[in-house]
Amino acid sequence: MSQKRTDIMQRLDLKTFLNAIHLPLVAIGTSERIEGMNDAAIDLLGHDILGRHFVMGLRQPKLLEAIEKVLSHREKTLSNFVGREGDQAFTWDVICSPLTVQGDFLGVLVSFTDVSALETANQMRRDFVANVSHELRTPLTALSGFIETLRGAARDDEKVRDRFLGIMDKEAGRMNRLVGDLLSLSRVEGDERMRPTDEIDIVSVLRSVLQTLKPLAQGQGCDVKLVHADDIGPVLGDRDQLQQIFTNLVENALKYGGRDKTVTVEIARIEHDRSLRCPSLEVRVCDQGEGITPEHIPRLTERFYRVDSHRSREMGGTGLGLAIVKHIVSRHRGRLRVESTLGQGSCFTVVLRQDA
């Protein structure tokens, strides 16, 4: 057994060894030239650098410094490398290790690990925490300011007190909605992999949504129309989550579609949806508002993204509604489509499966 192992260690050639590993690997000899690369390293760095001096081949100062250190001190050294593909940057953690065979120092083995996904996830987490803190700080600052005024200047003025208490109530409500939406988002993300299997009558879901939003529609002077054929059949879904999708879409159409307009909710059956590859129901929520400029459309489902943040906040929006819609649609393996014509209005379409 031990005889065999020694055999492998002595007879295995470097090229076979490097190519058996998926991480990009580069071997630099004591000549300071790049003497070996595996296929993954050729993909990353190109094969032109094979045979060149490592300074010319690798070029990034931090990495060169690390290699020089291994050549002179023969100690493992950590570094990193930034690669580019188009306008996207990829970050690699790099380990430079001394290559020795039976005590002889032969050079440096440089191995690259792609940590871009981790970097992106970390950046997203930092952005998210910053956004949440910012969203909570605004109402909190307002509340602290009003408390101070009520304790001081406005202490004995009943009228001002009532007005301020009204504003404080609105701000507290906004914080409450924000926390509610965050919890809802994290719940939806949590069960995104569990496919919903209940058969749901989407017309009854929409009737209930329109009933709930009746006061908002009346307040906006808007008419909401529900249009559908008979016998369209059920969709596979989670009733509460479908209710959540259409509550946000119809609420948006009412809030951003302008006063005294018509919002139309239309349900159509698609015999065979090409992208879902099964019979589906398409629910279109259309308003007659100002529309959304094309550059905003792909970003609408990002958390906290608002086209006109002042207007959205004014209307009590948290900017999380469409992010939640996107996750729910994805859990349902459906599709969300947004079309908008400036000056004419916007249509948000959700396609839901009737078959698994």
Ligand X SMILES: Nc1ncnc2c1ncn2[C@@H]1O[C@H](COP(=O)(O)OP(=O)(O)OP(=O)(O)O)[C@@H](O)[C@H]1O
Which residues bind to ligand X, rule: CB under 6 A?
181, 248, 252-253, 256-257, 287, 289, 292, 300, 305-308, 312, 317-322, 346
- Partner whose binding site includes residue 334, from ligand X, Mg ion, none (CB under 5 to 8 Å by kind): none
Binding mask 217-256 for Mg ion (x = CB under 5 A): -------------------------------x---x----
Question: Cα 271 to the chain's mean position, in Å?
Answer: 32
What's the closest the beta carbon of residue 169 comes to ligand X, in angstroms? Answer: 17
In whole angstroms, the minimum distance from the beta carbon of 295 to Mg ion comes to 19
Which residues within the stretch 294-353 sit at the binding site for Mg ion (CB under 5 A)?
Answer: 321
Closest CB to Mg ion among 205 and 323?
A: 323
Residue 176 CB-half CA count within 13 A: 6
Q: Would you say 74 and 103 are in contact if contact means Cβ atoms under 8 Å apart? A: no
Which residue is nearest to ligand X, using beta carbons?
321
Token output for 278: 């099964």
Contacted by 257, from ligand X, Mg ion, none: CB < 5 to 8 Å by type: ligand X
Tell me whether residue 126 or residue 311 sits nearer to ligand X (CB atom).
311
Residues 6-65 within binding reach of Mg ion (CB under 5 A): none
Residue 196 partner contact from ligand X, Mg ion, none using kind-dependent CB cut-offs of 5 to 8 Å: none
- Taking CB under 5 A as the rule, which mask of x and - marks residues 148-187 in contact with Mg ion? ----------------------------------------
**Shortest Cβ distance from residue 125 to ligand X (Å)?**
20
Report the residue number, 79 or 346, with the smaller CB distance to Mg ion: 346
Residue of minimal Cβ distance to Mg ion: 321
Of 275, 268, 247, 254, residue with least CA distance to 346: 254
The residue written with tokens 């078959």 in the block is: 355
Pair 265, 210: CB distance under 8 Å: yes
Round to the nearest angstrom and report the end-to-end CA distance of the chain.
54
Rank residues 58 and 300 by Cβ distance to ligand X and give the closer one: 300
Sequence-distant contacts of 333-341: CB under 8 A, at least 24 apart: 333/195, 333/276, 334/276, 334/280, 335/273, 335/275, 335/276, 336/301, 338/292, 338/297, 338/300, 340/291, 340/292, 340/294, 340/297, 341/291
Helix (H) or strand (E) holding 81: strand 77-85
- Residue closer to Mg ion (CB basis): 139 or 321: 321
Q: How far is the CB of 256 from ligand X (least distance, A)?
A: 4
Q: Nearest Cα to 109, choosing from 21, 232, 230?
A: 21
Q: In terms of CB distance, is 82 or 179 closer to Mg ion?
A: 179
313's CB contacts (< 8 A; 6+ apart) are: 138, 174, 306
Binds 256, which of ligand X, Mg ion, none (CB < 5 to 8 A, cut-off by type)? ligand X
Which one of Mg ion, ligand X, none interacts with residue 27, CB within 5 to 8 A by kind? none
**Segment holding 220, helix H or strand E:** helix 214-220
What is the rounded distance in angstroms from the CA atom of residue 206 to the CA atom of residue 6?
72
Burial class (CB in 10 A: 0-12, 13-18, 19+), 250: buried
| Nearest CB to Mg ion, comparing residues 66 and 322 | 322
Question: Which residues lie near Mg ion (CB under 5 A)?
Answer: 248, 252, 321
